[in-house]
Structure 1
Amino acid sequence: MINMQVRGDLGDVVARVGSGVKWTAAFADLDPQAFPMLRALNPCGDAMFNRQQVPGLLAELERIPVALDGDWVQGARELCQVVEQAPHRYLWFVGD
């Protein structure tokens, strides 16, 4: 499971959601040109998105394949809004 949280510059957790991303092989099958942000997710590592990257991530979430859809998508959208509300915030996808 990949957990999602928003952190500040000092690593402090500003927000998190209860639902995480359940990793499936469908993530690895995403077209890297169509989904460069989501292709950064890794079940064993971390991926971080800054304020400038969040609009691209949101666009990818709008067209995510059905096989990857789930509660985590709405949680990711909510956390993207938290990142956009103030500077020095980052959306983290934290792998195991």
Structure 2
Amino acid sequence: MPLSVRVWTLPDMNLARCIHPDLNRLVEFAQSLKLPMLGNVDPYDDTRFNRMQMSLVVPELRMLADSAPGGAADAAQELLALTELVDAKPHRYLVFVGD
């Protein structure tokens, strides 16, 4: 089952969602590079990043947008747009939803 990513806020509300078909490929590439944040996304469970963690996630996404193969770079671009929503207010999270 492919990964999806959502911007989640309290109370349980989804603000945005990314279902790019290459999200799994993006995470696999991040894992191969041993990136500390995105390289530890669990494809079989939910992985949540908060506003404070965005300062580490965003540079990784920028690097992947420039260097990831094919559609994985496009997936990174889509996720960068979602990070702006997370950073806009407290109690927002970027959640990778595994199967």
Q: TM-score, normalised by structure 2?
A: 0.80
* Paired position in structure 1 for 2:51: 51
Higher helix proportion (structure 1 or 2)? 2
* 5+ residue gaps, structure 2: none
Which deviates more from structure 2 when the two are superposed, residues 15-24 or residues 37-46? 15-24
* 5+ residue gaps, structure 1: none
Distance 2:16 2:68 in 1: 26
Q: TM-score, normalised by structure 1?
A: 0.82
Distance 1:18 1:44 in 2: 15
SS at match of 1:6: strand
**Matched letter for residue 15 of structure 1:** A
* Paired position in structure 2 for 1:92: 95
CA RMSD of aligned residues (A): 2.0
How many residue pairs get matched? 93
**Matched letter for residue 45 of structure 2:** G
Deviation string for 1:26-79 (max 9, x for gaps)? 343222xxx111122121111100000012101011222424833211111011
Deviation at 1:87, TM superposition (A): 1.1
Q: Cα distance 1:57–1:11, how it changes in 2: closer, same or farther (>3 A)?
A: same
**For residues 4-83 of structure 1, what are the structure 2 equivalents within 5 Å?**
4-20=5-21, 21-23=23-25, 25-31=28-34, 35-64=35-64, 65-67=67-69, 69-83=72-86
